[in-house]
Each structure stands twice: as structure tokens, then as C-alpha cells.
Chains A and B, each alone.
Chain A
């Protein structure tokens, strides 16, 4: 009897679910009515054009093939390849995200080390954190003026909280014993921060970074729908305006794939900094 490993069985089940799902989807989409039976009046009023509808998977796959075989073409402001659009989104996400990390991690360190700073800043964090990042958009657009910079600001403001809170939490939770080891070895404040506190808190900090990048990727799509111009979010909205649902479904899938890849990168980083006590 053939025995499969757990992973093999899981992979087999995944493929099976995919095939069944795609077939069900394909079967659920009604075929377009043949054009020949239309009256002249109907043809004149445009009823002869194919009706917009949710595309079957076969069309989406064809679209994906077409788009991914030439992802970086640029035929004017409203017709750019999916690669360019995603590139813009990733650029905005990473810029806002790293600016946020630059602020959140040192500040989180400070808050984690100092109970006074923790108590003093906590009310601000608690009020600012639950604000939907998009709610900042009008204010950002007004103050910053530039739509590109506003999108980056929105990413910045939504990425900062999980990193800030996790860094503070991780730093505050570093075992007293390890700090004492640093103290009895006369390590200076900076040396202690980099050789003891940072590695000790790193798993918690990276968890915060991983949550942040996930949120940032969620938010960029919505932000780009608002600011327009370029980016995957704008692309989705533009294709919706074109009533090209095939492209909409395809770009939704691409958003998922890119988000997964971003998360996987931080998953790798997390595995590197994790230690067993």
C-alpha cells in the first residue's frame, strides 16, 4: 500500500480543492447569449456587446498569462503592466514602512526601558492606534499636498503602531537575569542595548514588523484607490471603471500573492531571530 507523508497528503488535498473550486466556478458562470438572435433595435442600443459579468477562471488564467508574459509594458498613464503597478505599490509600502520602523523601534526601546515614558505615552498610543489609516488621508492630502507622499504617510502611520507596541513590550519583557548578566559584565548602555536587549526582544519586535507589513499591504490598496495615478490599488479601481472584471479578479489574486511573499520574507527573518530558552 502506498503511503504518503503528511505534506504530500496535504499538497494533494490542496490541488484537489483548487481543481474542484475552479471547475465549480467555471460551471457557475452562464455562457453569453449568442448575438445572432438579436433584433436590429437591440443591436443599435448596444445589447449586442458582451455583457459584463464575473469571468470564468479560464478567462482569468488567459488574462494572467497575457499580463505576466509582459508585466512591465508602459503604454501611457492608464495602461501600464501589472509589474509596474505592483512595483509602485511595493515602493510606497516599503518607504512608509521603513520610515515607520526608523521611528517605532528606537521609540519602542525607550518606552520599553522607561516605565515613566511608557505611562506618559500610553494614552496617546491608545488613542492614535485604533484610527483607520484612511481617516488620516484628507488631513495628509491637505498638509502634505502631494498625493504620492500622502499615500506613504498613510502607510507610515498604520505600520508604526504594531512595531512600536511590540518593541516596547519585547524590551520591557527582557528577563531581569539577562540584564543582570550585562550589568555584572559592566557592559555600557549601548552595548547592553545591542548585545543583550535587542537579541532578547528580537522575536517580539519581528512579530510586530510582520504584523505591520501585513497591515501596510492591506492599506496601500485602499490608499491607492483614493489617490489614483499608479499602483495596484489604482489598477483595481481603474479596471472596475472599465468594467473589466477579468482584470479585477486577476489583480485581486496578485495582491494576495504579493502579500504572501512579503509575509514570507518576514517569516524567514522571524525564524532567524527566534531562540529557544
Chain B
């Protein structure tokens, strides 16, 4: 049984400008289940954004493919909503119009009043109400703009929501608030989410599962770390959870050291690079060092 979203032997190569080819990542193979919140973590240049663009249908992989809900991903679609890092709001439209043009595209049969009511509802879900929604994006703060972008994506009920470093340009305090908003709206909608981030704490707070990428070029999705912290989560409480620092240390170790050690090794063609599953759960058993072994073995082979 295939997962809801199946990424199969995805390879991306670009010409390196000197006649040769640069392999960004190869044979990446992993899945995302319906309703899952998956975060992908990795250093800059490891091809996270390229994977995101391929999932969105905005870019074509060199080889391999993506299958969502039994259908191959070909080109962009309303079924895959994207929240871009730089918000990508249309500056000449009001906040409300920025959301409603997407809703109108999703539901061409709706009346204008229905479209507006639906858009207003989703803006209210991210805390934007009243006079604010008549303003232009340039009159909003960075945090508010990203809220609009999130509202636009959720209002369309995409089968898959792609978040490309959505909080990268925001200050830490604003980021925290919007992460909470995102968790709240995600909890209400059972939305499948695939998100890129650089921020370890953000990843632990939000994700069901974190995919770890080795450094590029020839990056791989090396590990899939389950976040064994029960929901609903709260940033002040999760740090008390016994698994929190164990998971966090594992992630820091990976990004700080192992992502470099594991990088740059070409893989055999046609051999799927499936990430090793890592489950750290101190609440049930003591951390089993064997758990991290598959990833290391994959490198040695």
C-alpha cells in the first residue's frame, strides 16, 4: 500500500556551468501519510527547496516522480497549496482580495458573497479581522503578511500544503505566535503538510516526523525522525517532555556533524535512497543506540 504522497527515486541534476553536471540529490524516496505534518531539515544547498518545487509542480525532476493520492504530480495544481517564504502576496490587491482570488479560483461556482465570507472566515482564523483585511499587504507587518499567505493556502483546502520556510523572514517572537496559529488551524483541518525549515525547535514543535537531509551536492534524505511528543503541543510544555532534549540532541548532532560526514557519496543508480526511521522515545524504553544504526549502515554499504 503506497502512502498518500509518494516520492519515488527523485533525482535532480543541473548543468554545473563547466560542461559537467551537478547532482543536487539522487534517488530520494520517501512517503508522507494523509494528515501527517512532515518537516524537512537540512543545510542550505541540500536541495530542500528543489524538492518543494517539484512537489508543488513548479519544477521538473531530472528523473523519478511524485505520486499523490494515486495520481502523478504533473504541473502545479490547486490540490497542492504553497506558502512561499516571501509571502508572495499580490501587492496591488487588498488582504481580503489576496485570499478571495484563490478561493474564487478553487470554487468558480461560488457567488462573490460566498467567496468573501469563506475568505473572511479563514483570515479570522489566523487573527486578521475587521479593518485590517481591507489594507494592502504593504501596510501590514511581515508577520501579518505571512498570516495572510497561510490563510490563503488553508482556505483552499489543498490535499497537500507545502510550506517553504514560512517563518524564515520573521523575528523570533512573531515566529512563535504564528507557529501557534499554524498549529491551531492545522489541528482543526487535518491537513497534510510538508514544510521546509532551518529551525530545529520549530521542527520539533510542529512536526509528526522530521526528514533529515545530508549536505549537498549529492544530498540524500538520510533519516526520518519520529517526534514522540504527544499533541496538542505547547512550546512551554514540550521542553519538559523527556523526549524533547533526546530528539533535539539527535537533530543537532545530525545537522552539526553527521550531515557533513554522510554527504557527497554517490549512490548506485536505481537504488532507492529510503531514509532510515529513527524513533526516540524515553517514555517507553531507554534510547536504543541501535536505532540510529541503519542510517550509518546505509552509508557504509
Contact = CB atoms under 8 A, between A and B. Distances in A.
Contact of A275 (B56, B82, B91, B106): B91
Given A195-B101, A275-B136, A276-B136, A184 B80 contact: yes
Interface residues of A, number: 18
B251 to A, nearest CB: 30
A199 B98 CA distance: 13
Interface string B10-27: 000000000000000000
B78 interface: yes
Interface string A163-193: 0000000000000011011011111000000
B90 A180 contact: no
A196 interface: yes
Contacts of B156: 185
Given A277-B91, A277-B138, A183 B86 contact: no
A187 B86 contact: no
A185 to B, nearest CB: 4
A47 to B, nearest CB: 69
Interface residues of B, number: 24
Interface string B70-106: 0000011110111010101011110000000110011
A22 to B, nearest CB: 45
B90 A199 contact: yes
A90 interface: no
A186 B93 CA distance: 18
Nearest to A202: B92
A200 B93 CA distance: 10
Contacts of B56: 180, 184
A184 B78 contact: yes
B283 interface: no
A191 to B, nearest CB: 8
Contacts of A275: 91-92, 136, 138
A184 B92 CA distance: 19
Contacts of A180: 56, 58, 76, 82, 84, 88
Nearest to A191: B105
Contacts of A196: 90
A262 B151 CA distance: 43
A184 B91 contact: no
B144 to A, nearest CB: 15
A196 B57 CA distance: 19
Contacts, number: 56
Given A177-B88, A178-B90, A183 B138 contact: no
B226 to A, nearest CB: 30
A276 B90 CA distance: 10
A204 B106 CA distance: 30
Contacts of A186: 76-78, 105
Contacts of A185: 78, 101-102, 105-106, 156
A177 B58 contact: no
Interface string A191-220: 000011001101000000000000000000
A275 B91 CA distance: 6
Nearest to B86: A177
Nearest to A274: B92
Interface string A235-277: 0000000000000000000000000000000000000010111
Contacts of B138: 275-277
Interface in B38-68: 56-58
Nearest to B56: A184
A32 B281 CA distance: 109
Given A275-B138, A276-B138, A181 B78 contact: no
Contacts of B76: 180, 183-184, 186
B86 A184 contact: no
A12 B79 CA distance: 63
Interface in A32-72: none
Interface in B254-279: none
Contacts of A195: 101
B138 to A, nearest CB: 4
Contacts of A273: 92
Contacts of A199: 90, 92-93
A117 to B, nearest CB: 23
Counting chain B CB atoms within 10 Å of each CB, which of A186, A196, A202 scores highest? A186
Contacts of B105: 185-187
A186 B57 CA distance: 11
A23 B128 CA distance: 62
B104 to A, nearest CB: 9
A273 B78 CA distance: 29
Counting chain A CB atoms within 10 Å of each CB, which of B77, B80, B91, B92 scores highest? B92
23 contacts: A177-B86, A180-B58, A180-B76, A180-B88, A181-B84, A183-B76, A184-B57, A184-B77, A184-B78, A184-B80, A185-B105, A185-B156, A186-B76, A186-B77, A186-B105, A196-B90, A200-B90, A202-B92, A273-B92, A275-B91, A276-B138, A277-B91, A277-B138
Given A184-B58, A199-B92, 4 more contacts: A183-B75, A186-B78, A195-B101, A200-B90
The 3 closest A-B pairs by CB, nearest first: A276-B138, A275-B92, A177-B88
